[in-house]
Amino acid sequence: MPLINLENISKVYGSDGVSTHALHSVSFKINPGEFVAIMGHSGCGKSTLLHILGMLDRPSDGNYLFEDTDTKGYTDQELAKLRNKKLGFVFQAFFLLSRTSVLDNVKLPLLYSAVHESEWETKAMEAINSVGLSHRISHRPSQLSGGEKQRVAIARALVNNPTMICADEPTGNLDSGSAGHIIELFSGFHKQGKTIIVVTHEAYVAQNAERIIYLEDGHLKHDLSQKEFFSSKKILFMK
């Protein structure tokens, strides 16, 4: 059974009587444990698609089945509970609380979970250890490098032991050394059985994925294995 099944997903934004079609009848499946990179030019619908996959936004049309259940039937509150339990999010801008320690930033998703408060620190420390930041637990974001901030964001995404991690340009604000370390972390979590979905412009990021979903003007242009995508020089479409 696929983890995700998108059936003719479209997304239309409207403002002042003007409609903008961000996605057009996009269909694909993602199986549990896959590492998928979503690529394409800026404005092609990558982030919109990721937000729909991560249940941060709803499609205008089509069906999104998660674990064989159509998400259309969920209320906003039910979707929020499902996100908290099943999904972890990592964003380019980190979105850490600036006046809060690393430990408390990572604890944050647990406040809205069914996990008892007595377990919060243990779970947060496990997530922090997994990204190699146990020596930074008392630091605030302003005291961290960009790579360390992103590792905190990844630890926060992992703290509820999600089924799937969604990452939107997770290396976009990082130097090459820090970016490489972040990709190593994602690859490691993939080997542990996590489903990873990463939006990226970077070929070196996508080369760590198993599969490339390539969008063009809101349409699904290519859905290929990583090897097929790069060996057939589909990367040229990015220029």
Residue 226 has pLDDT above 60, yes or no: yes
* pLDDT value of position 234: 53
Residue 14 has pLDDT above 90, yes or no: no
Tell me: the pLDDT tens digits for 107-124? 999 988 888 999 999 999
Mean local confidence (pLDDT), 206-223: 96
Query: Are 215 and 47 within 8 A, CB to CB?
Result: no
Long-range contacts, 115-124 (Cβ 8 Å, 24+) = 115/160, 123/159, 123/160, 124/155, 124/159
Query: Are 222 and 212 within 8 A, CB to CB?
Result: yes
pLDDT mean across residues, the chain: 92
Per-residue pLDDT band for 233 (boundaries 50, 70, 90) equals low
Mean local confidence (pLDDT), 216-226: 96
Tell me: the pLDDT tens digits for 60-111? 999 999 999 999 999 999 999 999 999 999 988 889 999 999 999 999 999 8
Beta-carbon contacts of 102 under 8 Å, excluding residues fewer than 6 positions away, are 128, 133, 136, 137, 138, 139, 140, 141, 144, 152, 155
Mean local confidence (pLDDT), 208-215: 96
Please determine, looking at this structure, whether the domain spanning 4-238 carries the CATH number 3.40.50.300: yes
Question: Structure pTM?
Answer: 0.91
Sorted by where each begins, the domain ranges of the chain are 4-238
Query: Are 138 and 124 within 8 A, CB to CB?
Result: no
Tell me: the pLDDT tens digits for 134-180? 999 999 999 999 999 999 999 999 999 999 999 999 998 888 899 99
* pLDDT value of position 235: 54
Residue 27 has pLDDT above 60, yes or no: yes
